[in-house]
């Protein structure tokens, strides 16, 4: 049940000054729309560094996985970029206007860090350097079960798919990863990348077409 349905009706007269009920509803709506808002307020408005640490803990896994794809599976670069993202976030936190979700703001910082590293150092290394990088993709890798042969087969399949994702041009790979792996909505991705929603959908569709073509042999095997 919505919290607004549990809130008692505003009382008339001086017990309920004009605007108080509306302000309370607005605050509740904001908290619902942005689950980070309470921590952000404790950090930025109250100066509580412990709240910033909680924000780091909440988002570091997702940011690390995003950076893995930006750096073709290189865990070292992904870790460096994630750490730099939090350094930049702490420095730029005051510029967060709270007009969008906090993670959108964080993501833009993370993306800029990654692009600067790619441009400045030209780090486009081969994908799948180490199995540990793939295993770090929590929730994305397939379950292996107890059958060693089945585990090897699934691992090889996952590596093959991940490798093809790494080959996608960045402008296609980025929205595809955000939508299919990190489960953001079209609206959220459009806001993050500052693109029209139609452009986001088009790029995701093109990414899927390329992957389908690259993995055509797998589809043929399934059809046998």
Give the Å distances, CA to CA, from 52 to 44, 45, 66.
9, 12, 20
Q: What is the pLDDT of residue 216?
A: 84
Residue 179: partners with Cβ closer than 8 Å, 6 or more residues away: 186, 189, 200, 204
Give the residue among 161, 112, 133 at the shortest CA–CA distance from 125. 133
Q: Are 182 and 197 in contact (CB under 8 A)?
A: no
Q: What is the pLDDT of residue 171?
A: 92
Give the residue among 63, 58, 57, 102 at the shortest CA–CA distance from 80. 63
Structural domains for the chain: 34-158 (1.10.1740.10), 168-215 (1.10.10)
Over the stretch 92-111, which tens digit does the pLDDT of each residue have? 998 998 888 899 999 999 99
Question: Which band of pLDDT confidence, cut at 50, 70 and 90, is reported for residue 222?
Answer: low
> In this predicted structure, which of 58-72, 126-140, 153-167, 196-210 has the lowest mean pLDDT?
126-140
Mean pLDDT of all residues in 171-187: 89
Q: What is the pLDDT of residue 121?
A: 55
Over the stretch 49-70, which tens digit does the pLDDT of each residue have? 999 999 999 999 999 999 988 8
Q: What is the pLDDT of residue 150?
A: 60
Give the residue among 57, 64, 156, 148 at the shortest CA–CA distance from 113. 64
Q: Are 128 and 159 in contact (CB under 8 A)?
A: yes
User: Which two tokens mark 78?
Assistant: 């992904």
Asked if residue 1 has pLDDT above 80, the reply is: no
Asked if residue 43 has pLDDT above 90, the reply is: yes
> In this predicted structure, which of 2-11, 58-67, 175-184 has the lowest mean pLDDT?
2-11
Sign of the Cα pseudo-torsion (44, 47, 49, 50, in order):
negative
The CA-based angle 140-146-149, given to 5 degrees, is 85
pTM beyond 0.85, yes or no: no
Pairwise CA distance, residues 176 & 182, whole Å: 9
């Amino acid at each position: 049940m919505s919290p607004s349905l549990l809130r008692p009706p505003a009382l008339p007269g001086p017990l309920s000054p004009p605007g108080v009920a509306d302000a309370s509803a607005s605050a509740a709506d904001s908290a619902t729309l942005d689950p980070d808002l309470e921590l952000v307020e404790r950090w930025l408005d109250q100066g509580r560094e412990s709240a910033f640490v909680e924000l780091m803990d909440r988002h570091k896994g997702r940011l690390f996985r995003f950076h893995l794809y930006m750096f073709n599976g290189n865990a070292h670069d992904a870790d460096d970029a994630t750490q730099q993202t939090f350094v930049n976030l702490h420095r730029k936190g005051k510029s967060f206007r709270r007009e969008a979700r906090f993670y959108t703001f964080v993501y833009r910082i993370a993306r800029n860090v990654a692009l600067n590293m790619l441009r400045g150092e030209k780090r486009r290394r081969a994908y799948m350097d180490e199995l540990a990088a793939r295993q770090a993709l929590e929730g994305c890798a397939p379950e292996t079960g107890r059958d060693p042969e089945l585990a090897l087969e699934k691992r090889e399949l996952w590596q093959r798919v991940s490798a093809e994702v790494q080959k996608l041009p960045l402008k296609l790979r980025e929205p595809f990863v955000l939508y299919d792996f990190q489960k953001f909505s079209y609206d959220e991705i459009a806001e993050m990348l500052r693109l029209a929603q139609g452009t986001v959908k088009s790029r995701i569709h093109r990414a899927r077409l390329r992957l389908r073509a690259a993995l055509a042999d797998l589809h043929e095997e399934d059809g046998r």
